[in-house]
Amino acid sequence: IAEMKRVPYHIQRDVLDELGVDQVAEKSDFKISAKEKLRDAVRCTGPRFKSCFLSFVPLLAWLPRYPFRENAIGDLISGISVGIMHLPQGMAYALLAAVPPVFGLYSSFYPILIYFIFGTSKHISVGTYAVMSVMIGSVTERLAPDSDFVIPGNDTNSTTLDIVSRDAERVKIAATVTFLSGIFQLLLGLVRFGFVVTYLSEPLVRAYTTAAAIHVIVSQLKYSFGINPQRYSGPLSLIYTVIEVCALLGQTNIGTLVVSIVTIIGLVAAKELSALAARKIPIPIPVELITIIIATVVSWQMDLKTEYGVEVVGEIPSGLQAPVAPAVSLLGSMVGDAFALAVVGYGIAISLGRIFALKYAYKVDSNQELIALGLSNSIGGLFNCFAISCSMSRTMVQVSTGGKSQVAGAISAVVILVILLKIGELFEELPKAVLAAIIYVNLQGMMKQFGDICSLWRTNKVDMVVWVMTLILTVLFNPDMGLAASIAFSILTVVFRTQLPKYSILGQVPGTDIYKPVEDYNQVKEIHGIMIFRSSATLYFANAEMYIDALYEKTGVDVAKLLSHKKKLEAKRLRKEKKAAKKAKKEAKKRDVAAVEAGPDPDTDTPLPRAIILDLSPVNFLDTVGVKTLRNIYKDYGEAGVQVYLCGCQRGVVESMEKGDFFNEKVTKSILFSSVHDAVLYCQQGNSKEVMQGTHL
């Protein structure tokens, strides 16, 4: 089979430089002016307006064509299943956000309805998410610490904590930062800035969510042990919190600890049984819902709050709340937090949305997703919701139970609405330790991501370094500062990779027009008198000096030393001319000097090549330093008697050379070639361009 794939071919054509290609292909100089581009961009026609409107409100495009018979049953079952999951997760993640549990239910209702109208992903389940919740919690606890709500008691040394005022202030802060993050997402979507997520690589996102999960676990230890550690903020706050928790372990509430341990063991066992039964039962068992029902009944019957001092959820008001304007005075103190929330929430949602879009063959509009999430958060913030994103666990349940469109999300919102209006108050006796246990068990998937380190070590060590550094930076700093530091480090690795590319001398594969690095292949041989040099990265200010050094090293020709030697010879020649008395002797001396100049540098055994070919095919842009570098290479090697040719230049590279005054009367596009092979043939045949190219593959 391998032999059959080797089809011989024979080509006869002229060797074409860049000028020849422009003539044969009839290069077009037509360019659309900026004025015409602007006029076309703002032109509003009927079809364009309709298309823009439908892309902004996707519901109007897909709902009239909704296949009711095929999708209705699956979406109904899926919506109910996911809605049931929203109840325990919404209440549990509200603890992470440091707000009363009922606000987790609000965050599982309003944003979902908004996304149903404006979102483009058919399968993701938006709503409360652990990482977003802990980021919100860091803001609320920083701006409204417990110490601000301590009320002196009747006794001299006694104090009480005004929980009602504290929670009200924290709800206001959470809603405001959510509103601001939504505005950021909305603005980024309107200016078509969806590509910002490309700076969040998969290793970075997975490491960041793992580190955020560690923050989540540490933040919930106080509910599992029934203690009240001091709240720390800023760098190393997680380390200080762990030390504080360890110091307070002697004050552990035994009743709370027992509830937590029993719940964790029960949840893990129940989830394992549910996974085994999933093959026979089409609908997943609502393990978390059953857990909070049993825990609430036990707490109510045994009066855990009074008898054992176990902290419970407390009052859950029925019904919905009227919208409230955000606290404008707080906006300035949370800009960085809001932007981090906007980027993280969008990055997680679009990453998961693209996975399912690829699997089920449809397109997710990255810019429209920004708008949908922005509206969900900004409008949700007016109704005292906290920031939302996409949950992997709920999304998997939505897909596995037959959900095929955004209708499943709308049905789950209806389920939450019923809970808010009628059922929510029944869970007032639910211990907070149970919600903390639900969080622990739900985070086990994120903790399994530590296995990425081993797999990345085998596949890409740079990505592994990004993963480890993201984890360390996010653990040591807060999630918002950790994200910024992680992105900066990730970009830094890209810069390092462009600064440390692989430099190669290319040789020809025998009998072909294919050129490969000579050090990588045994049968690839260099062409006598011609050096072909290539860098694996683009050429710009950060690696221009290294490019020249590598060129000198690989070609074995130190042009600086060669030119210095040439100047010494020239000075010696001038001294001899002054002493010479006859013209004949002068002519003889000139011939001798010319012979010396054409020879190799006396300090090296490597003879000068006739030509050097720079393969610029990996170069996708040139800055002014890059253009200057190529100009100096051409000039210096030319003075040393070595002709330099360039090949594989992309259009943008040629335009940069034109704008950088690389070409002039002496240096024309005749030194540019489309391929390495054309340049080699031209060098071998001198100025004759009628060359037959024959290759057998």
Q: Chunked in runs of 10, what are the mean pLDDT values of the chain (697 residues)? A: 59 80 77 75 74 85 89 89 87 89 92 94 90 88 86 71 89 95 92 75 86 86 88 83 91 91 91 79 78 90 88 82 89 90 88 85 89 94 92 83 89 91 83 87 84 91 93 87 87 84 90 89 90 91 89 80 69 70 58 43 61 92 91 88 90 88 85 91 69 44
User: Could you tell me if 331 and 476 lie in one domain?
Assistant: yes
User: Could you tell me if 342 and 305 lie in one domain?
Assistant: yes
Q: How far apart are CA 658 and CA 269, in angstroms?
A: 70
User: Could you tell me if 489 and 636 lie in one domain?
Assistant: no
| CATH number of 664's domain | 3.30.750.24
In a domain, 41, yes or no: no
Q: Is 690 helix (H, G, I), strand (E, B) or coil?
A: strand
Q: How many domains does the chain have?
A: 2
Q: How far apart are CA 634 and CA 656, in angstroms?
A: 16
User: Could you tell me if 400 and 510 lie in one domain?
Assistant: no
User: Could you tell me if 383 and 516 lie in one domain?
Assistant: no
In a domain, 345, yes or no: yes
In a domain, 336, yes or no: yes
In a domain, 69, yes or no: no
What is the number of residues in the chain? 697
Sign of the four-CA dihedral 303, 304, 305, 309 = positive
Q: Copy the structure tokens of residue 27.
A: 């290069």
Residue with token string 């997760």: 89
For residue 284, the tally of other CB atoms under 10 A from its CB is: 19
Q: What is the pLDDT of residue 604?
A: 46
Q: Copy the structure tokens of residue 159.
A: 């104090």
In a domain, 216, yes or no: yes
For residue 98, the tally of other CB atoms under 10 A from its CB is: 26
The answer to whether the CB of 664 falls within 8 A of the CB of 631 is no
Which among 639, 645, 635, 673 is positioned nearest to 529, based on CA atoms? 645
User: Could you tell me if 472 and 519 lie in one domain?
Assistant: no
User: Could you tell me if 236 and 316 lie in one domain?
Assistant: yes
Give the tens place of pLDDT for each residue, 346-368.
888 888 888 888 888 888 888 89
In a domain, 367, yes or no: yes
Q: What is the pLDDT of residue 593?
A: 42
Q: How far apart are CA 526 and CA 533, in angstroms?
A: 11
In a domain, 520, yes or no: yes
User: Could you tell me if 516 and 420 lie in one domain?
Assistant: no
Q: What is the pLDDT of residue 107?
A: 93
Q: What is the pLDDT of residue 594?
A: 40
Q: Copy the structure tokens of residue 435.
A: 């919600």
List helix spans (H) across 144-253: 163-190, 202-225, 237-247
Q: Residue 316: give the domain boundaries.
A: 74-151+161-449+458-494
Q: Copy the structure tokens of residue 177.
A: 């930062």
Burial annotation 250-270 (CB, 10 A radius, 16+ → b, else e): eeebebbbebbeebbebbeeb
Q: What is the pLDDT of residue 587?
A: 63
Q: Is 57 helix (H, G, I), strand (E, B) or coil?
A: coil
User: Could you tell me if 488 and 517 lie in one domain?
Assistant: no
Q: What is the pLDDT of residue 600?
A: 46
Q: Copy the structure tokens of residue 90.
A: 């919404």
User: Could you tell me if 147 and 250 lie in one domain?
Assistant: yes
User: Could you tell me if 444 and 545 lie in one domain?
Assistant: no
The residues near 229 (Cβ < 8 Å, ≥ 6 apart) are 221, 222, 241, 244, 245, 248
The answer to whether the CB of 173 falls within 8 A of the CB of 327 is yes
Q: Copy the structure tokens of residue 253.
A: 């509430």
Phi-psi region of 143 (alpha: psi -120 to 50; beta: other; left: phi over 0): alpha
Q: Copy the structure tokens of residue 526.
A: 């260099």
First vs last C-alpha separation in the chain:
14
Which among 160, 688, 74, 178 is positioned nearest to 397, based on CA atoms? 74
User: Could you tell me if 466 and 516 lie in one domain?
Assistant: no
In a domain, 329, yes or no: yes
Q: How far apart are CA 607 and CA 600, in angstroms?
A: 5
Q: How far apart are CA 258 and CA 253, in angstroms?
A: 9
Which among 481, 485, 372, 582 is positioned nearest to 142, based on CA atoms? 481
Q: How far apart are CA 432 and CA 264, in angstroms?
A: 13
